[in-house]
């Protein structure tokens, strides 16, 4: 299904994001809609760098707008759309001299659309996991809902009981006043009336005792519900939020908590009204040993205490602090805007816009040497309102806050000798407000999860490592001294956290085999990895700058940017040791290959395949890893599709035939191929071209720190490396196929990391000559 069609079928929330995206003139939504098929077929990213392609696409865009204008001319009631299309075409004319700018902007819109789709897919996956989770805990969930419904029903019944009590008291009061006004001379009649009045008092007293007893039971139920909400449901939500901040697919919706908190709060305010009504009734009619005067103060105190306990825990940080361009939440950079959202879980429409929330940071300074202090700048005060949330909750959404470091000594007097790095220093952002409603006045405070504050983007990777480690291990969300005595991570917990990183980026995490390879890298061969722990130092400090986290995060970024679809479809084995690779491939047929991440070269991917020696023995060969620079030149699936191995005295061939275990290459990767033919080709006026990587036999990947026997490695030849290799060029504009294979100048065609050589092979139907134009990562000749 086309991308635009998928977007149109999303839930209303995501369609709204789409409307907000196209709320600008760079690319009108009408143009995106009517030209959606054509727009999605073009390579806008390449056009942003290739002026020739950009001007071609620019001209085709104008032609397509003319065609669409003509179509509207044939349809009734399309006068306005004709006008709009004409206006859009005139607006696009401003890119006549800068077509690459237009291509770049259209590419940006398409990427933003993919982000919306990815977010929707992730939400759908989270929803599926939520359903599974709810299926596991359906009994406890139903029990809480049942208890909540019973509590609400008891309060409603109590309202009826209070009304009945008032009517009963009015009846007694009327008869008592009548008896007082009547002068009854007959003593027997007088005694009879007194007996009736005494009977009414007894009934009233019994009714008051029952009412007070029921109120006590209601408050006991309220206490049980509040204990469940505060000590269980809220704590579990906070933990889910912690984990979701570091990629876990947990449901962090506050919908249920808000409903439950509001229900209990409304009912407790009703109970307070009932107790006030009882005091009022007791003031009108009282008698000796009146239970209302004895019990009401105690019940009133209990109701107020429960209500305050509920309200104090009802103010939470719904969306943790985050920067628009950060790696994730909880990493903030000085002088860069960030956003954060606080929510009051008790919905009282009467309080809309009346509760002011104020932001501050680090209300208490820890005794840590060199600990920095910051000021919060921007709009620091906002009112809780019901217009900034989809469900009408009480929300204060801060969108334009910044942090500025105070120019003063850190830590102050009495600071301990503990010294932390900038990215291990934790800070807490606080939110304060006043609740004042129906006689209850409270100061409420909510606190963010600890944030790491950096001053340079180069610190972001280390800061995110700290966020991962803290939220993986600590459930004490105010422990800003966590890294003073940082604990190790049990392997099962650590492996799960790593899997979340890929899951959140691509919707596919790590399987057991991949986790086992990572454990092998950390601990070596062990019988049971679950008993081992990973230290903070091993994760983020050892072997600086190439720490374990730098290695893993570089892979994560590469997958997210260049390999997401292939990873999501399970085509990349990725995390596999060379020894495991050998055992997997050695019994497979010739041409079977697998894709794995390099263990020695940061942020790179390679493939290994099975060859057969002259004696019939299997031989595993591995190409030198492809880095980000390579993948920017050619998509990885095209590298696999067109990769050539040049053997001496033989015609170049692609040695990759079957993706492990036995899937034909074109069947596995065919859906990613991007060839366009006929009228759909934007290159219809040009000779067809193909860009490919070529490597020479006996040039294999650099030695890994975990070698395995039988695997050859591709190395640079003729001493060409570094600047010399970068500067080497070949003039092959009229090179025949035979000369192409025999010319000794072709020895620089070695697959390198930073000096990798790629070739554009041009073919013409009118000639059997193969024309080759040399290209490298810094320059490409035009087709």
Predicted confidence (pLDDT) per residue in 147-203, tens digit: 999 999 999 999 988 998 888 888 877 877 776 666 666 667 667 777 777 777 888
Q: Which of 252-266, 271-285, 718-732 has the lowest mean pLDDT?
A: 718-732
Start-to-end C-alpha separation, the chain: 32
Looking at per-residue pLDDT, the higher value among 359 and 20 belongs to 359
Give mean pLDDT, residues 312-327: 91
Residue 129 token pair: 């996991």
Bridge partners (DSSP) listed for residue 489: 534
Predicted confidence (pLDDT) per residue in 276-296, tens digit: 999 988 888 888 888 988 899
Give mean pLDDT, residues 516-545: 89
**Vertex 391, ends 385 and 394: CA angle to 5°?**
25
Residue 716 has a pLDDT of 31
Looking at per-residue pLDDT, the higher value among 246 and 368 belongs to 246
CA dihedral 295, 301, 306, 310 (to 10 degrees): 150
Provide the pLDDT confidence category of residue 709 given band limits of 50, 70 and 90: very low
Give mean pLDDT, residues 321-343: 91
Q: What is the CA radius of gyration of the chain?
A: 36
H or E element that contains 557: helix 548-558
Cβ neighbours, 10 Å, residue 315: 26
Give mean pLDDT, residues 723-741: 37
SS3 760: strand
Q: Are strands 331-333 and 452-454 parallel, antiparallel or unpaired?
A: parallel
Cβ neighbours, 10 Å, residue 603: 20
DSSP 639-683: HHHH-EEE-TTS--B----EETTTEEHHHHHGGG-----GGG-TT
The rounded mean pLDDT for the chain is 81
Give mean pLDDT, residues 224-239: 94
Q: What is the DSSP letter of 492?
A: H
541 Cβ neighbours under 8 A, 6+ residues apart: 547
In the numeric block, the tokens 């909540």 are attached to 148
Residue 33 has a pLDDT of 86
Q: How far apart are CA 344 and CA 357, in angstroms?
A: 10
Q: How far apart are CA 125 and CA 58, in angstroms?
A: 38
- Given a cut of 90, whether residue 552 has pLDDT beyond it is yes
Residue 22 has a pLDDT of 81
Alpha-carbon separation of residue 343 from 352, 359, 440 (angstroms): 12, 13, 19
Give mean pLDDT, residues 721-726: 31
- Given a cut of 50, whether residue 685 has pLDDT beyond it is no
Give mean pLDDT, residues 305-311: 96
Backbone φ, ψ for residue 112 (5° rounding): -65, -35
Say if CB 775 and CB 692 are below 8 A apart.
no
Where would I find the H helices in 353-490?
460-473
Q: Which of 57-71, 147-161, 532-546, 763-777 has the lowest mean pLDDT?
A: 763-777
CA dihedral 575, 751, 725, 630 (to 10 degrees): -60
Residue 559 has a pLDDT of 94
Q: How far apart are CA 374 and CA 360, in angstroms?
A: 9
Give mean pLDDT, residues 351-375: 90
DSSP 17-37: HHHHHT-SSSS-HHHHHHTHH
CA dihedral 14, 19, 23, 24 (to 10 degrees): 80
pLDDT more than 70, % of the chain: 80
- Given a cut of 80, whether residue 483 has pLDDT beyond it is yes
Give mean pLDDT, residues 238-254: 92
Predicted confidence (pLDDT) per residue in 602-661, tens digit: 999 999 999 888 787 888 888 889 999 889 888 999 889 888 887 666 667 888 999 988
Residue 764 has a pLDDT of 35
Predicted confidence (pLDDT) per residue in 387-431, tens digit: 877 778 899 999 999 999 988 655 544 555 677 889 999 999 999
Q: How far apart are CA 113 and CA 117, in angstroms?
A: 6
Q: What is the pTM of this model?
A: 0.70
Predicted confidence (pLDDT) per residue in 656-684, tens digit: 999 988 899 999 998 888 764 444 444 44
Give mean pLDDT, residues 547-567: 93
Give mean pLDDT, residues 245-255: 91
3-state secondary structure 352-402: CCCCEEEEEECCCCCCCECCCCEEEECCCEEECECCCCCCCCEEEEEEEEE
Alpha-carbon separation of residue 445 from 1, 380, 432, 450, 725 (angstroms): 48, 15, 5, 15, 62
Looking at per-residue pLDDT, the higher value among 493 and 408 belongs to 493
Q: What is the DSSP letter of 508?
A: -
Give mean pLDDT, residues 459-484: 94
User: Which domains, from first to last, does the chain contain?
Assistant: 3-133 (1.10.532.10), 137-312 (1.20.1050.20), 315-485 (2.60.40.630), 489-567 (1.10.238.10), 623-658+665-776 (no CATH)
Looking at per-residue pLDDT, the higher value among 80 and 685 belongs to 80
Residue 411 has a pLDDT of 54
Backbone φ, ψ for residue 653 (5° rounding): -140, 160
Give mean pLDDT, residues 557-565: 93
Give mean pLDDT, residues 88-104: 87
DSSP 589-633: PTTEEEEEE-SSSTT-EEEEEEEE-TTS-EEEEEPPPB-HHHHHH
Provide the pLDDT confidence category of residue 271 given band limits of 50, 70 and 90: very high
Provide the pLDDT confidence category of residue 206 given band limits of 50, 70 and 90: confident
Say if CB 388 and CB 342 are below 8 A apart.
no
Q: What is the DSSP letter of 703?
A: P
- Given a cut of 90, whether residue 120 has pLDDT beyond it is no
């Amino acid at each position: 299904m086309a991308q635009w069609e998928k977007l149109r079928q999303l839930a209303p929330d995501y369609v709204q994001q789409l409307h907000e995206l196209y709320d600008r003139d760079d690319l009108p939504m009408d143009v995106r809609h009517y030209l959606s098929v054509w727009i999605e077929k073009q390579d806008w990213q390449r056009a942003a760098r290739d002026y020739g392609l950009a001007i071609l696409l620019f001209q085709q865009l104008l032609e397509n707008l003319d065609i669409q204008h003509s179509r509207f001319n044939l349809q009734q009631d399309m006068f306005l759309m004709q006008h709009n299309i004409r206006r859009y075409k005139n607006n696009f004319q401003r890119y006549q001299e800068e077509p690459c700018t237009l291509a770049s902007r259209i590419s940006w819109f398409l990427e933003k659309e993919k982000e919306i789709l990815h977010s929707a897919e992730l939400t759908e996956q989270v929803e599926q996991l939520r359903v599974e989770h709810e299926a596991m805990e359906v009994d406890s969930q139903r029990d809480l809902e049942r208890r909540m419904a019973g509590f609400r029903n008891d309060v409603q019944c109590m309202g009826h009981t209070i009304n009945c009590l008032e009517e009963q008291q009015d009846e007694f009061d009327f008869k008592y006043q009548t008896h007082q006004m009547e002068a009854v001379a007959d003593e027997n009649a007088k005694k009879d009336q007194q007996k009736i009045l005494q009977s009414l008092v007894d009934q009233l007293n019994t009714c008051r005792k029952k009412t007070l007893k029921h109120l006590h039971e209601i408050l006991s139920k309220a206490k049980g519900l509040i204990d469940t909400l505060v000590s269980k449901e809220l704590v579990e939500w906070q933990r889910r939020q912690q984990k979701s901040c570091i990629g876990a697919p947990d449901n962090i919706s506050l919908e249920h908590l808000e409903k439950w908190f509001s229900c209990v709060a409304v009912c407790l305010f009703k109970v307070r009204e009932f107790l006030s009504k009882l005091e009022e009734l007791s003031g009108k009619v009282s008698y000796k040993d009146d239970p209302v005067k004895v019990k009401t103060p105690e019940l009133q105190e209990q109701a107020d205490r429960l209500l305050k306990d509920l309200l104090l825990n009802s103010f939470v940080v719904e969306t943790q602090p985050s920067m628009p361009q950060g790696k994730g939440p909880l990493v903030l950079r000085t002088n860069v805007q960030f956003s954060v959202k606080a929510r009051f879980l008790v919905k009282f429409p009467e309080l809309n816009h009346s509760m002011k929330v104020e932001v501050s940071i680090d209300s208490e300074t820890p005794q840590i040497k060199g600990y920095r202090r910051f000021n919060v700048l921007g709009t620091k005060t906002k009112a809780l309102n019901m217009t900034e949330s989809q469900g009408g909750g009480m929300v204060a959404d801060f969108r334009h806050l910044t942090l500025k470091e105070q120019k003063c000594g850190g830590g102050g007097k009495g600071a301990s000798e503990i010294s932390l790095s900038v990215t291990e220093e934790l800070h807490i952002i606080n939110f304060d407000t006043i609740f004042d409603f129906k006689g209850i006045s409270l100061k409420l405070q909510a606190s963010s999860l600890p944030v790491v504050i950096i001053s340079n983007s180069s610190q972001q990777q280390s800061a995110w490592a700290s966020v991962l480690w803290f939220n993986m291990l600590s459930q004490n969300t105010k422990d800003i001294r966590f890294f003073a005595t940082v604990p190790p991570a049990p392997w099962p917990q650590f492996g799960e956290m790593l899997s979340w990183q890929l899951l959140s980026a691509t919707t596919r995490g790590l399987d057991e085999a991949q986790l086992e390879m990572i454990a092998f890298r950390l601990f070596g061969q062990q019988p049971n990895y679950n008993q081992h722990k990973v230290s903070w130092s091993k994760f983020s400090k050892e072997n600086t700058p190439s720490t374990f986290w730098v290695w893993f995060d570089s892979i994560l970024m590469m997958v997210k940017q260049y390999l997401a679809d292939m990873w999501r479809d399970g085509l990349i084995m990725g995390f596999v040791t060379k020894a495991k690779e050998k055992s997997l491939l050695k019994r497979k047929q010739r041409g079977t290959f697998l894709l794995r991440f390099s263990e020695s070269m940061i942020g790179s991917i390679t493939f290994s395949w099975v060859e057969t020696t002259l004696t019939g023995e299997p031989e595993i060969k591995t190409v030198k890893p492809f880095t980000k620079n390579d993948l920017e030149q050619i998509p990885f699936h095209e590298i696999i599709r067109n990769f050539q191995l040049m053997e001496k005295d033989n015609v170049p061939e692609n040695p990759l035939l079957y993706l492990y275990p036995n899937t034909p290459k074109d069947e596995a990767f065919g859906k990613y191929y991007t060839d366009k033919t006929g009228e759909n080709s934007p290159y219809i006026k040009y000779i067809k071209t193909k860009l490919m990587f070529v490597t020479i036999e006996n040039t294999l990947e650099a030695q890994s720190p975990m070698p395995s026997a039988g695997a050859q490695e591709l190395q640079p030849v003729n001493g060409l490396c570094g600047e010399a290799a970068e500067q080497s060029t070949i003039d092959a504009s009229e090179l025949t196929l035979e000369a192409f294979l025999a010319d000794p100048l072709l020895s620089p065609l070695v697959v390198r990391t930073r000096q990798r050589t790629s070739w554009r092979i041009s073919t013409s139907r009118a000639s059997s000559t193969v024309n080759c134009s040399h290209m490298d990562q810094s320059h490409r000749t035009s087709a």
